[in-house]
């Protein structure tokens, strides 16, 4: 079997590709230097050449690209899978955030993901959309929580971590496993992945400091006050309590 996957230069897609390989699913990266994201005839040719069994849209791009992809996949009867984000919600939405809550983000990234979700749902209700939280990797250098804390330490000589900020979060490898489980086993629809039951940014900073022997200096603070934890109706991702020394 074969899957086309976008975003292979990002944080999540390469790990998802590794998990797909365990299921004997070959992955073909959408290389934007070779395949256009604006020329629909080129997209069509790529799909007809590769003939994938699945299409995973994990990378960033224009809303019009997402619209074209989901429309073409529907035409060719290719199951379409999209990773969205907790960032479709502003800090004003009370936690735990139900998947039926109205996305209300106004920042560029959140608004982009909202527009993609709406376009996908309008074109193909049989698509799978999964909102994920802040990913916990192992090293700096990509868009994950360890990178964030590392940069805070470099810039300020101390990590000021709020005891009142509760992010939706999960370990990157666990997220990838859950995404593939949804792709292969779950019904079409909207899902939310969150492994953080009740841990603050201060708790997470301390746990990651211990786990990776980072020797960070961590100072507890009271702000910001945020609770971005998503509710999950199907528990598909391992809780952080099983993965971190919390």
User: Does residue 163 come out as left (phi exceeding 0), alpha (psi in the -120 to 50 range) or beta?
Assistant: alpha
Q: pLDDT tens track of the chain, all 246 residues?
A: 999 999 999 999 999 999 999 999 999 999 999 999 999 999 999 999 999 999 999 999 999 999 999 999 999 999 999 999 999 999 999 999 999 999 999 999 999 999 999 999 999 999 999 999 999 998 877 889 999 999 999 999 999 999 999 999 999 999 999 999 999 999 999 999 999 999 999 999 999 999 999 999 999 999 999 999 999 988 789 999 999 999
Say what the pTM is: 0.97
């Amino acid at each position: 079997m074969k899957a086309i996957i976008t975003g292979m230069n990002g944080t999540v897609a390469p790990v998802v590709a590794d998990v797909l390989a365990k299921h004997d699913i070959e992955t073909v990266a959408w290389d934007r230097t070779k395949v256009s994201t604006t020329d629909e005839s080129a997209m069509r040719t790529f799909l007809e050449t590769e003939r994938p069994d699945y299409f995973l849209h994990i990378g960033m791009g224009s809303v019009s690209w997402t619209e074209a992809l989901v429309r073409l996949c529907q035409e060719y009867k290719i199951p379409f899978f999209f990773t969205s984000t907790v960032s479709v919600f502003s800090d004003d939405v009370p936690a735990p955030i139900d998947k039926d809550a109205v996305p209300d983000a106004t920042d560029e990234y959140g608004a982009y993901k909202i527009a993609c979700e709406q376009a996908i749902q309008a074109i193909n209700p049989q698509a799978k959309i999964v909102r994920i939280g802040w990913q916990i990797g192992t090293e700096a250098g990509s868009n994950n929580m360890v990178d964030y804390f590392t940069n805070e330490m470099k810039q300020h000589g101390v990590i000021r971590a709020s005891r009142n900020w509760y992010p939706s979060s999960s370990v990157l490898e666990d997220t990838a496993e859950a995404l593939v489980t949804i792709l292969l086993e779950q019904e079409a629809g909207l899902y939310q992945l969150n492994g953080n039951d009740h841990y603050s940014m201060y708790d997470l900073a301390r746990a990651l400091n211990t786990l990776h022997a980072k020797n960070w200096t961590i100072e507890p603070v009271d702000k910001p006050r945020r609770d971005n934890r998503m509710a999950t109706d199907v528990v598909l991702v391992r809780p952080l309590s099983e993965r971190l020394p919390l």
